[in-house]
Chain A
Amino acid sequence: MGRGLAILNWSLIGFWIMAIISVCSAVLMIANRNPVRSALFLVLGFMMQALLYLSMSAQFIAAVQIIVYAGAIMVLFLFVIMLLNIGSPEALRERGGLQAPAAIVLAIVFLLLLAGVGALGGSQINHLMNPSVIPNYGTVDAIGKTIFDPSKPWLFPFEATSILLLIGVVGAITLAKRRL
């Protein structure tokens, strides 16, 4: 397929729509003064990322992205925003500090990184854009068979996740219930 045709590809058009919405929602999330609206834009960003995963046929990751990030973690965020009375607009206003210079430096680094990737050229990137070569790639089946395969080393990280989550529970309860 020639490059001219590739640009008119439907999946590529979809990609650009999702990518643009995703980036815009990220910018709006930071630029917004109202924390609840910021959280909403973050949710929109998560949804777009889920769609991007889906377009790369990573179905399970897409579903988990929505269930865990959009459906659970952001609800927690919203609760925290609402409970701590930073829900009212204009309540958050920061100025001064090293934020602005740090942001500029990081932005330059990021742009350089992007330029570097662009300089690599299409040939190396092209094969990354067609990931659905492996059969069953990204299905829940395939992921389960990888994580729980006794011959693969994922058992320990998997059980360690559980301990991490346990620590989270204990920490939250200790924080919320100060009196022992």
Chain B
Amino acid sequence: MIIPQHVGPIDMVAVIPYIAIICVLAFVLLLVPGLVWIERVVVALIQDRLGPNRVGPRGLLQSIADGVKLFFKEDILPANVDKMVYYLAPVLVIVPALAAGAAIPFSIVKIRLDSGVVEPIPMVVGNVNIGILFILALTSLQVYGIVLAGWASNNKYSLIGGLRSSAQVISYELAMSLAILCGVFICHSLNLVDIVNHQGGYWFGIIPKWNVFQFYGLGAVATIIYLIAMTAETNRAPFDLPEAESELVAGFHTEYSSMKFAIFFMGEYASMLVVSGIATALWFGGWQPLFPFLAFIPGWIWFIGKLMTFIMIYIWVRATLPRLRYDALMSLGWKKLLPMALVVLFLVALVDTLQTPSQPVGSHVAQGHLAASMVIGESQR
């Protein structure tokens, strides 16, 4: 479908980011109740029990009922909390997650410009030049919400949960950002739209050129590192130690009730959606179709389909794996994922260097200086 640039007085190119705002907000905020329902049903299926089946057909209205209940619940403010930080913490969890979602492109629209040229315009709220770094910056802020919730509650369990969680999140952030770097290497861009566009096309007309299949399996290793790190980043099972109910009551949100709790809950699902969205865009080709003959399906359906696949993996993993012990968690992050990510990164760099013998503009000058400056560099050291 090709849309003309001017529909009446409206310039479509300028309007697209604002349409994207509505799409992303509606998607995240409306989908969260649906996700909760899907999760409960799927986990029940895997664990061979009934799951929600009372409210509405097949329990479909269950999470809406939960939401309404939380809305009308009394808001208990414990006596010893630090009020300002206590109310700020849930906001700090959800806003970075939402804001990071703004940088993920989820589809593409073809627009016929006034000049007659048909141009593909990405559907994204902010097509930021440094997209990936921007998202990393925002997700690195999420740690505050958790650690401050734990601290402000003035509850020992909460504080332990908050500290655990923040230590876990920062540990896996390293592996995550190094894995993302591998993707940046393969596409040679930080802009997520460029990254997705780079993944168009097929080998032998059938295997998609997604980053996960690139670089002789190195892309797949980086993808696996990213997927593990993203599960840990969102504090989901089997990395859900911060809210390990058998030891810490409910972890950092023990003292949170009513809507404040609901916002924590929404924040968890929003950040799940965001990291899955990054995985989709960075490794699995974003809106690019799986096979060339399926290209008639619109891009946003592909994107949402891939996104939901990751959500399903999340749920599946949660229903299958037991929780890790804390020392095992830290040693997985620091002793396995981090060195592995570094090695993969350098292998990707080496392969890329050997693959591209001819260099772009200015290489001649750079080459000329190479020998001389290496001598200078050595003598300086």
**B residues contacting the other copy or chain, number (CB 8 A):** 35
CB distance from A174 to the nearest CB of B (A): 18
The answer to whether A87 touches B380, judged by C-beta atoms less than 8 angstroms apart, is no
B143 engages A75 (CB within 8 Å): yes
**Chain B nearest Cβ from A134, distance in angstroms:** 15
Stretch from A4-12, A111-119, A148-156 that touches the partner:
A148-156
Contact flags B83-111 to A (C-beta < 8 A → 1, else 0): 01100100000000000000000000000
Q: Please give me the residue from chain A that is nearest to B368 by CB atom.
A: A151
Interface of B, helix, strand, loop or mixed by DSSP:
helix
Closest chain B residue to A57, Cβ basis: B129
Most chain B CB neighbours (cut-off 10 Å) among A34, A75, A149: A75
**Closest partner residue, chain A, to B144 (CB atom):** A43
Which positions 47-85 of chain A face chain B at CB distance < 8 Å?
Answer: 50, 59-60, 62-63, 66-67, 70-72, 75, 78-79, 82
* B373: A residues at CB distance < 8 A: 150-151, 155
Closest beta carbon of chain A to B141's beta carbon, Å: 6
Q: Would you call B337 an interface residue if the criterion is a C-beta within 8 Å of the partner chain's C-beta atoms?
A: no
Q: Provided the pairs A150-B374, A159-B381 are in contact, do residues A82 and B163 lie with their beta carbons within 8 angstroms?
A: yes
Residue on A with the closest CB to B167? A79
Q: Report if A66-B141 is in contact (Cβ < 8 Å); known contacts: A140-B130, A150-B366.
A: yes
A36 at the binding interface (Cβ < 8 Å): yes
| A122 lies within 8 A of chain B by Cβ | no
Which chain B residue lies CB-closest to A148? B366
Judge if A168 is at the interface, Cβ distance under 8 Å: no
Residues of B within 8 A of A139 (CB): 129-130
Complex: how many Å from CA A139 to CA B131? 12
In the complex, A22 Cα to B119 Cα: how many Å? 41
**Chain B minimum-CB-distance residue to A136:** B129
Residue B245 lies at the interface, judged by CB distance under 8 Å to chain A: no
Decide if A71 touches B137 in the complex (CB within 8 Å): yes
Q: Are A79 and B163 in contact (CB under 8 A)?
A: yes
When the two chains form their complex, are residues A140 and B159 in contact, meaning their CB atoms are under 8 A apart? no
**A78 to B141 alpha-carbon distance, docked (Å):** 13
A40 proximal to B (CB < 8 A): yes
State A58–B264 Cα separation when bound (angstroms).
33
Q: Which of B130, B147, B170, B381 contacts A60 (CB 8 A)?
A: B130
Starting from the known contacts A66-B140, A75-B144, 12 additional A-B residue pairs (CB-CB under 8 Å) come to: A43-B144, A60-B133, A67-B133, A71-B141, A72-B170, A75-B166, A78-B147, A78-B151, A87-B151, A150-B366, A150-B372, A151-B366
A-B pairs with beta carbons under 8 Å apart, 27 shown: A34-B82, A37-B82, A37-B84, A37-B85, A40-B88, A59-B130, A62-B137, A63-B130, A63-B133, A63-B137, A66-B137, A67-B137, A72-B170, A78-B144, A78-B148, A79-B163, A82-B151, A139-B130, A140-B133, A149-B369, A150-B373, A150-B374, A150-B377, A151-B365, A151-B373, A155-B377, A156-B377
